Amino acid sequence: MRKYVSIKSTDEKIVEVILNRVDKANALNKDMLVELNEFFREIMDERYIVIIRGEGNKYFSAGADIESLYNGELNVVEIHKYFDIIEEYPHPVIAMVNGYCFGAACELIAACDLRTASSKSLFGITPAKLGLTYSIEGIERVIKLIGYSKAKLLFLTGKTITSEEALRYGLVDYVYDPDILEEETIRIARELAENAPLSLESIKRVFNLIRYQKAYDETTLTDVYNLALESRDYREGLKAFLEKRKPLYRGR
């Protein structure tokens, strides 16, 4: 039984993961991070499009739980490890930022593949204001998303930025009015779900290889490419295009 992460099935292809500590501004404590990892491990062989959001409308997440940092339950330089699984999950993950998003929560959304935000959301990365440092892996994750200069600005100043500024920085991809944020995020998820599952998996893996400049050889790349190119869905996609019809993808 999960205490801090709730799961909602939107339909057979889309699952919402809800960060649920409303009384603590959905702050990330160790139990929540462990539950998040356990869920992704459970669905690792599935083909869901995953949406991560915060419970309520005020906070996506206030970031790492300060009490957990203070008592040593959570180590600020190890938080990044809990977000690795989001990148390792083979299919797209969307962060739906439905409120304030601070500190480690900004790294969480950076680990996702796409990010939508409410026009009323605010963002900030605040370790310098709290006398903390941050892991090289976590800083790298943010740099890979928004660039060296913008990342340094956010980390050093701890400034709070609006959704529109976050959009200009590249920290989010879409900004919507709060009333339509969930509807539009689900629409994007459904668009992704209509694509060939093996193509999504192959493309995400290639992006991860490029993003982190991981060592890979020709055999590794061939395996990644063939995941899609040797599938029935590959032939179906081309055939459907030639026949001017919607493809029927089966994930094989």
pTM: 0.86
Q: Cite the DSSP H helix spans in 112-246.
A: 136-146, 148-157, 163-169, 178-193, 197-212, 218-229, 232-242
State the Cα–Cα distance between residues 189 and 93, nearest whole angstrom: 9
Q: Would you call 225 helix, strand, or coil by DSSP? A: helix
Question: How confident is residue 238, by pLDDT bands cut at 50, 70 and 90?
Answer: very low
- Read off the pLDDT of residues 162-211 as tens digits, 9 standing for 90 and up: 999 999 999 999 999 999 999 999 999 999 999 988 889 989 988 988 87
Residue ranges covered by each domain of the chain: 5-193, 197-242
**Residue 243: pLDDT above 80?**
no
DSSP secondary structure string for all residues of 46-77 = S--EEEEEESSSSEEE-SB-HHHHHTTSS-GG
Q: What is the pLDDT of residues 63-79, one digit of tens each?
A: 999 899 888 898 888 89
Picking from 132, 88, 106, the residue whose alpha carbon sits closest to that of residue 28 is 106
So what's the pLDDT on residue 251?
65
Stretch 26-35: mean pLDDT, rounded?
96
Q: Residue with structure tokens 């290639």?
A: 206
> What is the fold, at CATH topology level, of the domain defined by 5-193?
2-enoyl-CoA Hydratase; Chain A, domain 1 (3.90.226)
Per-residue pLDDT tens digits for 95-154: 999 999 999 999 999 999 999 999 999 999 998 888 888 888 899 999 999 999 999 999
Strands across the sheet with 122-124, in order?
A: 59-61, 100-102, 122-124, 160-162
pLDDT of residue 218: 55
Residue type, 240: A
- Of 160, 61, 161, 74, whose CA–CA distance to 111 is shortest? 61
224, pLDDT greater than 70: no
What does the pLDDT look like over 7-20, one tens digit per residue? 998 788 999 999 99
- 85 vs 221, residue with greater confidence: 85
Residue recorded with tokens 């938080």: 79
Which tokens go with 204? 């995400």
